[in-house]
Amino acid sequence: MARPAEKARAMLNKWVKMREEGNATPSVRGARPKLASECEHLGDAEFYRTQINKEITGMIAKIQNPALGEHTIRDLNDEINRKFREKHHWNKRIFQLSNGTIDYNKRERSARIEEGDVQFLAVTNNGRKHGPTYRYFGAAKDLPGVKELLEQQQEKMRAMNRKKRGPHEIYKHVGVGYFGWRDEEDGVLLELEEDAFRNHKRNKQQKTDANGTGGPAVQVTEVDLDRLLEKDYLADVPSQEEMKQIILAEKKKALLARFSV
């Protein structure tokens, strides 16, 4: 026989598991509340959501029959959409009771996007807007006015897909002209560069003239490449052996100054 301590521990573990799954033993379920906010137990909310799913499944199977008549089909389609809105509220309530761990609305929205549900994507701007949308099922898609509406939604989706361009489509029209490699072909850029060079040279000459007439002193440093390349100019540069001797003499001088103190 199990000891009392083991029994108490087993009961505690069972109670903790039930609390994590959505409170303790659910209350007597009975009829489904009109407002999802009136439900206080996660298990009850899951049970009522399953009820609504069964009702929706039966109605969708029923609306497939085109012999029901236009008015009956429209009323039945309205009732299906009302059930979907009710399920949306129960999904939100389950999300609240589960502390954000169960999000049926997000799962259903992702499933519609993956399936390519045109009615959902066209109304919600390709899945960006959230919330229940009015949809047509079964024989309701063939009703007068509905077929034209669905065709408009199809065209809207095609237009949205055309606007969405991937990176390969963007870079397809990028050529050498985008990087400015053909800017010099027409000669316009070269003319502009020559004009800018002439203006710079003119301004430089004006500053030089101003120095000669008592204007502000402007120091212009120019490098004469021809003079740099002359052999006589480079004659004073010490060779590598001379540099070694100079460095050695400096080291000796530093050592003598250090130990002579």
Tell which residue, 71, 57, 69, has the closest CA to residue 137.
Answer: 57
Q: What tokens does 181 get?
A: 């490699």
Kindly list the domain boundaries of the chain, sorted by start residue. Answer: 40-164
Length of the chain: 261
Q: Which pLDDT belongs to residue 52?
A: 92
Task: Find, among 140, 142, 117, the residue nearest to 127 by Cα.
Answer: 117
pLDDT confidence of residue 55: 92
**Cα–Cα distance between 134 and 85 in angstroms, integer?**
9
Instruction: Tell me how far apart the alpha carbons of residues 190 and 198 are, in angstroms, rounded to a whole number.
Output: 12
pLDDT under 50 in the chain at which residues? 1, 24-26, 214-215, 217-218, 220
pLDDT, position 218: 46
DSSP 9-57: HHHHHHHHHHHHTTSSS-----SPPSSGGG---HHHHHHHHHHHHHHHH
Burial status of residue 17 (CB atoms within 10 A of its CB: 0-12, 13-18, 19 or more): exposed
pTM assigned to the model:
0.50
